[in-house]
Amino acid sequence: MMKNSFNDSSAKRDFYGVQLETPFMLGTAQYPSPAILAKAFEQSKASVATVSLRREASGDKAGQDFWRLIQQLNVHVLPNTAGCHTVKEAVTTAHMAREVFGTSWIKLEVIGEEDTLQPDVFGLVEAARILSEDGFQVFPYTTEDLVVADRLVNAGCRVLMPWGAPIGSGMGLNNIFGLRALRAHFPDIPLVVDAGLGLPSQAAQAMELGMDAVLLNTAVSKAGDPAMMAEAFANAIRAGQLAVKADPMVPRDMASPSTPILGKAFLD
């Protein structure tokens, strides 16, 4: 089990009035078994579990057992509108999720393109406005586009979740410049890299860019040892977080000796 702690109040960001114990949000889909899912959360110390309404909407025993397991994890629950392609569908799913899971948090997804699962940013902004006005605390899955981000903030979002790469692709951070620009333009808005991370090193890179948390699922659930991979991601997130606090060096175009030559002995 991971021994190091994330506890550092100076590093915590406020997510709709909640300070997360760790900057790690972990999905709950596609694990080999419920026991392995629980172990992944235990070893990673993830503080948020994302859940799909489709996993819990039915009244069958499997759905009830899944919800009981999630409750036993003792983490914050972030329902999502995964698979929704229209504003109406996303808004309806969000309302159902609030009833089922008893939270106003909602990870808002409005998918606009099938191959990349890229968000429909026009529908996303509209749905975010509707849900924010109805008392939801919206976590929008979006691109790194600055204009879209500004529209989402104006629509009531107090958290932004830009993608790193297409969902489930494992390609990492496809647009470093875009994410860095997003951080610079919205210094006070919590930013969570959501989707596309495949390796712990990519999660560390996201934190080094100044992101406040990362959210992933496939990279852990589809690993040969999901619990070990979850712990690896947790350690990488922590490393990236510490790197930012340590004020890292700025890259140079030329070499600079680490050992000074002043006082060096010269032989004839």
Q: Which residues are catalytic?
A: 107
Closest CA to 81 of 127, 16, 115: 127
Is residue 57 annotated as involved in ligand binding? no
Is residue 196 annotated as involved in ligand binding? yes
DSSP category for residue 119? B
Is residue 86 annotated as involved in ligand binding? no
Closest CA to 219 of 204, 205, 238, 233: 233
Structure-block tokens of residue 179 = 């994410």
Q: In whole angstroms, what is the distance from residue 103 CA to residue 69 CA?
A: 17
Is residue 17 annotated as involved in ligand binding? no
Is residue 217 annotated as involved in ligand binding? yes
Structure-block tokens of residue 244 = 């930012």
Beta strands in the chain (DSSP E): 14-15, 18-19, 24-27, 48-52, 76-80, 105-108, 137-142, 161-162, 192-194, 213-216
Give the residue ranges of the annotated binding site: 168, 195-196, 217-218
Give the residue ranges of the annotated binding site for 1-deoxy-D-xylulose 5-phosphate: 168, 195-196, 217-218
